[in-house]
């Protein structure tokens, strides 16, 4: 239950309107920082895994075929996403029952433990087939924990934010994502530049994963200091909500329309996200034979650009609405994916930077607006659980499998434009979802009182 200093209530001038809730700005900032740090840690791991995928293939999947190594590495990457829905089914309903803060502390511990464990696994040359099996186990732990992470973190920020600033404050969640990616990619780039290939394969690859230990301890400390969100606190004051848990049927079948919209929105969000930030470095190196270090530096620069634009785009979604911002991203990917990839394939540093930069700015339309748009699809009573189910099903089927599917499609067809076609298909699905979604900017969250 929030402390007396955390919240205050202001009676509305309209006797029939619900009472508005005022949240302490200092508490809001602390909540945003803690949620964003957890997201940063999650994507630090994913960024490192993606950017060092070629090296991990040599360590855990020895083979004379580099494409087979890369497919095996991305296969382990995708495996974590197969258990994300299970994590969502566990952590989501639990977050609606016992509280967002408690569950987010647990997911932080599990994420840190899974990432740290990867750094301790012996190589294939040391223990044989046990090495890739242990890698798979660690990835499954990570996937299970992240099943409750994004939905919980976005719900946490959304339920703390004033209605008129939810887009701006929610955008900092994905700011954390980009910060984690930059930290992971920057570390891999530095190691690639400083270490020989032999040193990187023998011991250097472990360093990024071992860093997760202290990062997780810091994140856990911040999350344990948080208070529960005002929306959840108000919900638990209702005796019925306290006495019984929300049936899973209510979270799914009772919210089926919102769940379909969530799946469509998350699909375009994550396919484009993983394509640009996770797959493109390997595409530049493995498919286009581009210099690995320069390719990573281009992606780092694109992410830095996205971080600069991110808060402004979030604030824009508060002014013009979530729907126009997300729709602009869908239209952009539909029209510009092919030209952007043609620029990237042209091969010069300027052309690659221009193509990647264009895709990065389009992706900001999603990273800035989605953290506030997705929680607003569901009422408070089932928000964490329903969002976890919809988000993780979509990410598991379409987002996390993007590197694996696109690599396989290129291998099967020989068509190097597959990444563009894949993003265009996702943009069409996302556009349909935007058409049917209700605008939520400046309005109270469903099932919650106005918040200022």
Confidence of residue 14 (pLDDT cuts 50, 70, 90): very low
Q: Which tens digits make up the pLDDT trace of 372-420?
A: 999 999 988 888 888 988 998 888 888 878 888 888 888 889 888 999 9
pLDDT band at 293, cuts 50/70/90? low
Q: Which of 405, 419, 401 is nearest to 77 (CA)?
A: 401
Please, which pLDDT band fits residue 264 given cuts at 50, 70 and 90? very high
Domains and CATH numbers, the chain: 23-436 (1.20.1250.20)
- In angstroms, the CA 249 to CA 386 distance is 10
State the Cα–Cα distance between residues 72 and 63, nearest whole angstrom. 10
Q: For 140-184, how does the pLDDT look when each residue is reduced to its tens digit (9 = 90+)?
A: 888 888 888 888 889 989 988 898 999 999 999 999 988 988 888
pLDDT at 358: 95
Please tell me what DSSP assigns to residue 20. E
Q: Rounded to an integer, what distance in angstroms lies between the CA atom of residue 307 and that of residue 177?
A: 9
Instruction: Please tell me the pTM assigned to this model.
Output: 0.84
Q: How high does pLDDT run on average in the chain?
A: 83
Residues 56-104 have pLDDT tens digits of 877 887 766 666 666 677 677 667 777 888 888 899 888 888 888 888 8
What pLDDT does residue 237 have? 67
Tokens 């997201």 identify what position? 39
Task: Please check whether residue 153 is in contact with residue 173, taking contact to mean a CB–CB distance below 8 angstroms.
Answer: yes
Both tokens assigned to 231 = 């929306």
* Strand, coil or helix: 65: coil
The distance of Cα 143 from the centroid of its chain, to the nearest Å, equals 12
């Amino acid at each position: 239950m929030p402390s007396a200093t955390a919240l205050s209530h202001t009676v509305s001038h309209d006797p029939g309107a619900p009472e508005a809730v005022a949240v302490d700005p200092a508490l809001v900032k602390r909540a945003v920082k803690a949620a964003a740090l957890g997201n940063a840690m999650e994507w630090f791991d994913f960024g490192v895994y993606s950017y060092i995928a070629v090296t991990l293939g040599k360590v855990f999947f020895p083979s004379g075929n580099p494409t087979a190594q890369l497919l095996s590495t991305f296969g382990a990457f995708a495996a974590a996403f197969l258990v994300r829905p299970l994590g969502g089914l566990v952590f989501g309903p639990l977050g609606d029952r016992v509280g967002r803060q408690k569950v987010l502390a647990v997911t932080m511990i599990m994420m840190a433990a899974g990432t740290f464990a990867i750094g301790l696994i012996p190589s294939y040359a040391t223990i044989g087939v046990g090495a890739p099996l242990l890698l798979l186990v660690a990835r499954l732990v990570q996937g299970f924990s992240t099943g409750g992470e994004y939905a919980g973190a976005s719900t946490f920020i959304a339920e703390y934010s004033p209605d008129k600033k939810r887009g701006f404050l929610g955008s900092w969640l994905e700011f954390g994502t980009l910060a984690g990616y930059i930290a992971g990619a920057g570390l891999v780039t530095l190691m690639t530049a400083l270490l020989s290939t032999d040193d990187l394969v023998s011991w250097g690859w472990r360093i990024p994963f071992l860093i997760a230990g202290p990062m997780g301890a810091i994140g856990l400390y911040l999350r344990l200091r948080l208070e529960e969100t005002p929306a959840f606190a108000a919900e638990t004051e209702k005796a019925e909500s306290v006495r019984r848990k929300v049936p899973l049927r209510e979270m799914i079948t009772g919210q089926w329309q919102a769940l379909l919209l969530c799946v469509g929105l998350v699909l375009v969000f994550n396919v484009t996200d993983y394509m640009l930030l996770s797959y493109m470095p390997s595409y530049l190196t493995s498919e286009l034979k581009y210099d690995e270090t320069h390719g990573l530096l281009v992606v780092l620069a694109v992410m830095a650009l996205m971080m600069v634009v991110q808060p402004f785009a979030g604030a824009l979604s508060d002014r013009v609405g979530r729907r126009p911002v997300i729709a602009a991203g869908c239209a952009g990917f539909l029209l510009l994916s092919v030209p952007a990839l043609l620029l990237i394939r042209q091969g010069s540093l300027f052309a690659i930077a221009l193509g990647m930069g264009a895709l990065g700015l389009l992706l900001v339309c999603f990273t800035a607006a989605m953290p506030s748009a997705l929680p607003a699809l569901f009422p408070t009573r089932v928000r964490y659980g329903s969002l976890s189910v919809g988000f993780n099903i979509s990410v598991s089927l379409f987002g996390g499998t993007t590197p694996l599917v696109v690599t396989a499609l290129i291998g099967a067809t020989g068509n190097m434009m597959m990444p563009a076609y894949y993003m265009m298909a996702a943009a069409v699905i996302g556009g349909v979802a935007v058409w049917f979604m209700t605008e939520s900017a400046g309005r109270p969250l469903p099932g919650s009182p106005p918040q200022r």
